[in-house]
Structure 1
């Protein structure tokens, strides 16, 4: 009879230990889910920022001092022409009043709208050709011939995120998009 009592006590102790482990693991799971959501949101914002910066860098070629010197032939004039041709960060990107985000210079906005407008239309045409199909950003980039480098794929991802935000397409799941 003693072994039966010991077995019952052992089972009871094991069950209590498992209950404690279950409660601890549930708390840990919730904490990890919150952390994953925060990391995913940060990742999306970094990808959008990198996409915008790469587009900005590709759309506004900077003039070098050599280019300015060949235009003016006078180093003193070259410095003043260089400052006029390339505005400082403070004048090109003034801070916004409340949000903490910075606005782009008007010249950069016009070129971005042309670039993003074309890409947006290409993406919407692609989704019109595959209605109801869930696709990844990499597949969209490949269909548009923009899968040559990670910058191009990130530009597609950024555009897809903007289209989701504008309710023009749906996010079907993590990394999956579907036409409305």
Structure 2
């Protein structure tokens, strides 16, 4: 039987605690990355909507910039702090989807329509739902993206963009319905 000194045992306990903290912090970092991506996507959507509304205002010149803050240049979380552990595949998909759609329309350069994976999943869900009113949280749950607020907000932001392009209809506060073809 091997005798362990109290100092060695304290070091072992401290290392175990640090490993647990590292795992918890990594999960928290991933959740914050998803939430930041959702907020960034929503920010782009709001900026586009505000720009469109200001263009419709009487007396607004097309060359005058929109009042308020300009586009926010936020470094990606991966650039700011490199990860020590690999992120799960669905996490990077959520972040890539939000980053890819933030500040961009769904039309590509030659006028064709291209959509992200999340957008396609949401459109398919609404196609199946038909004339039923649903909440963004229900859509997120059906797609398996209800694990944290960042994932739910990514779904909510995507639905808001679909409402803005008349692919989904808002029927009440927090309620959405498929658009009839």
Check whether TM > 0.5: no
- Greater fraction of residues in helix: 1
Structure of larger gyration radius: 1
**TM-score with structure 1 setting the length:** 0.42
Higher relative contact order (CA 8 A, sep 6+): 2
